Structure 1
Amino acid sequence: MGWFGREKSPAPAAKEPRQDDARKELSGPSRQQDALRERIEASGLPPEVYEAAISECDRMDGVEPSSPEYAISLNFLETILSLPWNETTKDDLDINRAGEVLDARHYGLRRVKDRILEFLAVKSLCARDKPRILVVDDERIARENLTIVFEDDGYEVEAVANGVEAVAAMERKPAHVVVSDLKMDGMDGMELLQVLRKRWPDTKVVMITGYATVKTAVDALQQGADQYLGKPVNLTKLRRLVTELHAQSVRARHLHGFVLCFNGPPGMGKTSIGKAIAEAMGRKFIRLSLAGLRDEAELRGHRRTYVGAMPGRILQGISKAGSRNPVIMLDEVDKAVQDFKGDAVSVLLEMLDSEQNSGFVDHYLGLPFDLSNVLFICTANAVERLPAPLLDRLEVIDFPSYTLNEKVRIATDFVIPDQLRRHGLDEQLVSVSEDAARIVITGYTREAGLRGMRMQLASLCRKLARRVLADGSQAVEVDEAMVRELLGAPPMIAASARSRPRVGLSTSLVWTENGGEIIFVETARMQGNKQLILTGSLGEILRESAQTSLSYCRSHAGEYGIDPDVFAASDIHIHIPAGAVSKEGPSAGVSITLALLSLLTGRPIRQDVASTGELSLLGEVLPVGGIREKLMAAQAAGVGIVILPQGCARRVDDIEEDVVRDLDIRFVSTMEEAAGIALCDSPTPDDNA
């Protein structure tokens, strides 16, 4: 093939069968094998895969169809042919439509939706970037012919005569691939290569020369050239190389971003958001629940040496989707890391790393499959469980708890109408009031998401269906009284702030997987020998917080008017009720210290005050997390004043108005400031708890 010749890229030529004619006559031609060979030759497989498939097909010629080896080879070839090596779905990156789809599927979650739309906007802008090639050659006819070739292939082409003009062209608009001659006046190809590697390291370079030698090829590759070809150039090979290098350049420029990881409690809608992303982009959706997987081979596949071997769940899903660029949601990835037999982290790193997944090798297939076009999305309930190497590759998007008003709106506008239809109830005859929905949410569920609410409303609809059948077609209006009648007494009793000041009793705000809650810290002093008693199923961090609080009180006894001798003859008991529930976390230090100061000074604590924050031994109040959920708990419990660390002030600025409404938030930096807010001025010994 000459420099200027051009031909259509042919399919790889099939190998001649290895059996001689006599053996063919004995065995007879297999119609099934002939059909397989025809499918392989017509499938447009990548060269490496094509060679492996033809080789396996040739091997089947000498195997009896009734033997197990024949069945293994047949299944292997069917697996290869079922995979979408070249099939992709075109992305629909209309941001306005994507926003409409997300809003239609979910109410609320505004920040989550905004981050997803930003992600899609970046992909949309990257998709507009037309592939660009810069041709550098001092022969005019060579430049013109290569321009025609690459423009017909859909590239934007600019042709220049030497390295100086090439640098100027790159400064105006960088190219994805540079095809350059080696010998040129002004600045030759090697000098141009050095400039490209220094200023545009992601640009791919193909060096071409009519004076090709081993030394020049080695020098060019050592200087950073990606490919080296001699003249006359095989245009078929050059076009294939340019296509491959452009794909690598796109990955290097645009796919270094992190994989999205949706983090939040169960029932927040993480999976359905992933489906909405696939719908908005026009891609197929595959969900893999990693919580149910116990073996590395379920993702990576079993080797063909095992009986009943099959590909892993990744390639099975891609084969079923019929395209190599679906959206794959790896659900509950934090549970997989704990339960896997084998190195789950290495499998996930290979799948999620854009530098590695372009050549992902399934154990069954034994051939590389390109996963770089797949959009991976992970979900987790607690990303803290993930190993650091995996977490570094994920961009964590936290799903905040739904507020009470959001839950009521979702229940009345979406869940209740849906459940009524599912249970055969006429929405014109059966109506559920907003107050009824509110009592279902607050009295029968305790969660951050919506799953429990949906289950309780489904139970309510089942009981309504029975009543409608028993009473005829009379209209039914469900109010709070009917909810209690049908579902029984509410099992959830929300903690509420106490009314009068108490000595030794403080209110703390905590974060749990079910959202924010308030807990009470109780303290008592008795005669003893300096023993600290901790009860309430406290974890190690909470025990350390209690010891730090007591040390702070002892070291600052003079500042608060505490008799230093009281510690020598006393035992102090710290208790957090609900001992059957394990408690852990670094956010109760301020509350424990307030309870101890109240106990030792006799000054009662205002019960309309709740606090959160950790305490240092020097009395500094340290910032903590979960502020939004904790403020929601304070609001629900009727707390008036909330003490927060000064380091959390910026987080509060970003919280919705509904969450901070009716709360007097005080920011403190030291324990003295917190005590000045929570402790009453005068002791009231008669009020000891």
Structure 2
Amino acid sequence: MTEPNKIQIPLLPLRGLIVFPSMVIHLDVGRDKSVNALEKAMMDDHIIFLAAQKVVDLDEPEPKDIYRIGTMAKVKQMLKLPNGTIRVLVEGLYRGEIIQYIENDDQFLVEVEEFEEIHGGQNEEEALMRALIEQFETYIKISKKVSQETLATVIDIDDSGRLADIIASHLTLKLKDKQELLEIEDVKKRLQRLIKLISNEKEVLDLEKKIGQRVKHSMEKTQKEYYLREQMKAIQKELGDKDGKSGEVAQLKEKIEQSDMPERIIKVASKELDRYEKVPQSSAESSVIRNYIDWLLALPWTKETEDNLDINHAEKILDEDHYGLEKVKERVLEYLAVQQLTQSLKGPILCLVGPPGVGKTSLAKSIARSINRNFVRISLGGVRDEAEIRGHRRTYVGAMPGRIIQGMKKAETVNPVFLLDEIDKMASDFRGDPSAAMLEVLDPEQNSNFSDHFIEETYDLSDVMFIATANNLGSIPGPLLDRTEVIYIPGYTEVEKLHIAKEHLLTKQIKENGLTKAQLQVRDEALIKLIRTYTREAGVRNLERTLASVCRKAAKIIVSENKKRVVVTEKQLETLLGKPKFRYGMMEQEDQVGAATGLAYTTAGGDILSIEVSLYPGKGKLTLTGKLGDVMKESAQAAFSYIRSRANELRIDPDFHEKNDIHIHVPEGGTPKDGPSAGITMATALVSALTGRPVKKEVGMTGEITLRGRVLPIGGLKEKSLSAHRAGISTVIIPADNEKDLEEIPDSVRNELKFIPVHHLDEVLEQALAEEKHES
């Protein structure tokens, strides 16, 4: 049995609606739980509890999403509509409060307690009722959303609580304000709150009315001004007054005459100015012509900076800003030397190709500074539209010049250093091929007459020094690549990174983090460890970020522990930066049978590559594992075929392939590996496994192999040699054709490594395999 003032009835959650007692309203019910609750109410005594959802958008509200206080209501009528929803007519009876929810999956069943109203003094309530009716009457006059009949009905009500509820139901209030009125027990407080809400609504309506009147007045004023302005134009035309459009035309004419534009461009600008003068100002064409004239005046046509042809000065600046990169620096100095001799030279078009972070963009800035030219940069990454390069024709709305002309405007001279960043990231689609539009820009024979669709007149780009940058040469179309002078920046060696970190990056980060050189010192061995085990990249971008982290942590130590100086050693790196993120290969501790050390080239520099071969009884199946690419698999097949063809000379059982299965594995299987340069390494490991002769631990090798055993040249010898030196290898076997590349290797590394050039695999085996220690 429940308590007398508590009853168990179905609950109907309402969305964006509050039903007050004495309020009669139609509701559309469509949710399954709500329909079930309604049907249960119709089967019992037609009584249902109505409570609002806190969030309107919820389709399946939980008990926590429904307000506790609502209205007990009686279902008067129920009608099923064709679309499946049910329309009901309900009448609010009295307030109620949900005491608890009764578990039921089909509908909401709640235990409800009647919400008692508290009445105050009769006279005070009477006074509040009169004030409320008066406010409501004024509200009706202003809003015109409530009929006068409603006011007549309200005046006859003598129950204060009922009066408050009926007036609240007719007001346009927020859901939370209506819910607040529903929850107030004290009728006197409810009346006071309602009077305040109506007063606020009146103020808002008054403000809306004022704004509406102001807008109307503004529109009338605009129409009046338009009429007067047209009259003024007519008067100016009659009097020849220069203060109107004619005055503007006179100013533009003066600018054109004083500009540095060539004669042909002055004629074009003057012709356009005549058209501008005749076209009505209200016409859309007027703004197009004015924009075109402004662009012609803003472009540099003859203004140029004087080149600083002092080679020593240029070399000094380039060395200040960048360590290494000798080929690029040499090319810039060659350009200056030739220009000094000839006094006229078309701007070279260089294409710097290399991985991210090697300093391509910053190098272009340094080149501009070294020869005293203005610098301008445009990014071509993601450019798909040809109009981005050549501009839009002036017939289009919002037409603009292309990025080349825009860049020349920013440069303000005809001979800037113009950086075309990320030229390999250009794409093409239905709007055209921007790389094809770049052909004219980058062709020294054509760019003296570059044509932009917006400017229409040819523009001379022959004095511009174009520098393009790219990460991947394969993404640049062939014809475009043919017009540039490609300079590879493969990345920095460990030795170069150490110098860059000491001379540039660390100094910069110490300053940016508020430190001084006296407060922070980073030892060389710590820098080397940081380069090797905390960064792995071709450039120095991540190295700079890691050095910035070291500086921040040093700053924290200085501030929190009141230290005057922090010295970072190799041991302290782990304390500051945590465990190393990367490992690098080291040579074997002793000679191994069936395991050879190769040298690999990666985008982050070089590394050693261990190749292992295992034999077991079988029928000659060759298994290759370690996430190898097609080229590397083909190298293994070529090595296998060569050994089979030379089995007798190599003292191997000619039938080995019929008795054994062979498994070749390259460790670090998670890393994709490809390339032909592991050919001689695979062959050496195979011969070692088949003959039982161990491979010398101190020997590393690189080279492509043919079916006849010839050793072909490879790339990346500099990086591979540095990785061998780092791993402790003392002898490196290289193809004889790569001897010319030894000059690129730093002296400090070249003097400590023994390089053995070879032509044939027999020479490789002679140098790499140790003497047999036991019978095969």
- Range of TM-score over shorter length: 0.7 to 0.9
Residue number among 331, 335, 340 corresponding to 1:124 in the alignment:
340
Q: Give the distance between the partners of 1:366 and 1:419, measured in 2 at CA.
A: 48
Residue number among 689, 707, 723 corresponding to 1:617 in the alignment:
707
Q: Give the distance between the partners of 1:91 and 1:547, measured in 2 at CA.
A: 58
CA pair 571-328 structure 1, distance change in 2 beyond 3 A: same
Q: Hey, what does 1:86 align to over in structure 2?
A: 302
Q: Hey, what does 1:15 align to over in structure 2?
A: none
- Is 2:290 the counterpart of 1:74? yes
- Verify the 8 A CA contact 1:258 1:393 in the aligned structure 2: no
- Verify the 8 A CA contact 2:389 2:434 in the aligned structure 1: no
- Is 2:765 the counterpart of 1:549? no
- Is 2:516 the counterpart of 1:426? yes
What is the SS of the residue equivalent to 2:590? coil
Deviations 1:471-503 (A, max 9, x none): 125322222232210100111111111111222
Map 1:222-621 → 2, pairs under 5 A: 254-255=345-346, 259-336=349-426, 342-621=432-711
Q: Hey, what does 2:203 align to over in structure 1?
A: none
Deviates more, 1:441-450 or 1:85-94: 441-450
Q: Give the distance between the partners of 1:272 and 1:627, measured in 2 at CA.
A: 26
Gaps of at least 5 residues in structure 1 are: 1-20, 128-249
Q: Give the distance between the partners of 1:118 and 1:29, measured in 2 at CA.
A: 54
CA pair 338-447 structure 1, distance change in 2 beyond 3 A: farther
CA pair 527-281 structure 1, distance change in 2 beyond 3 A: same
Deviations 1:347-384 (A, max 9, x none): 22211111110111112222211000101112223334
- Verify the 8 A CA contact 1:84 1:323 in the aligned structure 2: yes
- Verify the 8 A CA contact 2:721 2:745 in the aligned structure 1: no
Deviation of 1:616 (Å): 1.1
Q: Give the distance between the partners of 1:585 and 1:535, measured in 2 at CA.
A: 15
Map 1:131-146 → 2, pairs under 5 A: none
- Is 2:726 the counterpart of 1:636? yes
Q: Hey, what does 1:59 align to over in structure 2?
A: 275
- Verify the 8 A CA contact 1:611 1:643 in the aligned structure 2: yes
CA pair 428-340 structure 1, distance change in 2 beyond 3 A: farther
What is the SS of the residue equivalent to 2:673? coil
- Is 2:262 the counterpart of 1:46? yes
CA pair 342-573 structure 1, distance change in 2 beyond 3 A: farther
What is the SS of the residue equivalent to 2:677? coil
Deviations 1:238-284 (A, max 9, x none): xxxxxxxxxxxx6xxx44x8622222222222222221211121110
CA pair 329-459 structure 1, distance change in 2 beyond 3 A: same
Gaps of at least 5 residues in structure 2 are: 1-233
What is the SS of the residue equivalent to 1:86? coil
Give the TM-score, by structure 2 length. 0.66
What is the SS of the residue equivalent to 1:643? strand
Give the TM-score, by structure 1 length. 0.74
Deviation of 1:387 (Å): 3.2
Deviations 1:576-625 (A, max 9, x none): 22222222222111111111111222222122211111011111000111
Identify which of structures 1 and 2 has the higher relative contact order when contacts are C-alpha pairs closer than 8 Å and 6+ apart.
1
CA pair 344-558 structure 1, distance change in 2 beyond 3 A: farther
Deviations 1:104-147 (A, max 9, x none): 112233343223212211111111xxxxxxxxxxxxxxxxxxxx
Deviation of 1:508 (Å): 1.1
- The AA in structure 2 aligned to 1:83 is L
CA pair 280-258 structure 1, distance change in 2 beyond 3 A: closer
- Is 2:320 the counterpart of 1:104? yes
What is the SS of the residue equivalent to 2:648? helix
Q: Give the distance between the partners of 1:684 and 1:678, measured in 2 at CA.
A: 17
- The AA in structure 1 aligned to 2:376 is I
Residue number among 21, 35, 39 corresponding to 2:251 in the alignment:
35
Deviation of 1:469 (Å): 1.8
Q: Give the distance between the partners of 2:509 and 2:451, measured in 1 at CA.
A: 45
How many residue pairs were aligned? 540
What is the SS of the residue equivalent to 1:557? coil
Q: Give the distance between the partners of 1:342 and 1:607, measured in 2 at CA.
A: 57
- The AA in structure 2 aligned to 1:555 is S
Q: Give the distance between the partners of 2:565 and 2:260, measured in 1 at CA.
A: 64
CA pair 338-667 structure 1, distance change in 2 beyond 3 A: farther
What is the SS of the residue equivalent to 2:249? helix
What is the SS of the residue equivalent to 2:658? coil
- Is 2:330 the counterpart of 1:114? yes
CA pair 269-419 structure 1, distance change in 2 beyond 3 A: same
Q: Give the distance between the partners of 1:66 and 1:613, measured in 2 at CA.
A: 75
Q: Hey, what does 1:167 align to over in structure 2?
A: none
Q: Give the distance between the partners of 2:769 and 2:426, measured in 1 at CA.
A: 48
- Verify the 8 A CA contact 2:384 2:434 in the aligned structure 1: no
Deviations 1:499-522 (A, max 9, x none): 112222111111111111111112
